Structure 1
Amino acid sequence: MKKNLFTSGEEVIIKATDETVTVSKSQYVKNMKRYSYTVKEQPATFFFEEELEKK
């Protein structure tokens, strides 16, 4: 299992919209072998690490 790129409370940018958001939680998706992240500003939506970038 690889290490997650972003931590809870970290500000990141959603690549598609260039919006700055705050990571609220991360979860490893075992069958996809990558992390998904939920953000405080859009709690019903999750993003994969390739959809986010460090601020």
Structure 2
Amino acid sequence: MESTFAVLSFAENTLGLSAVHALVDRNNIASVKVFDNTGFQFIELAALTSVFIVSTCSR
């Protein structure tokens, strides 16, 4: 989870991004939990795959 926070910090502070998007295999429960615990929000389930599309805005 610490690496996710580091990536988000780099994206916001170094790259100046206002949002970060991620694709997550919904069968990978550990990854889903990391995104849940780091403030990502579910957007949609990709139609032809088992991938969640999640997003977070800068803090």
TM-score, normalised on structure 1?
0.33
TM-score normalised to structure 2 length: 0.31
Larger radius of gyration: 2
**Structure holding more strand per residue:** 1
Determine which structure has the larger helix proportion and give its number. Answer: 2
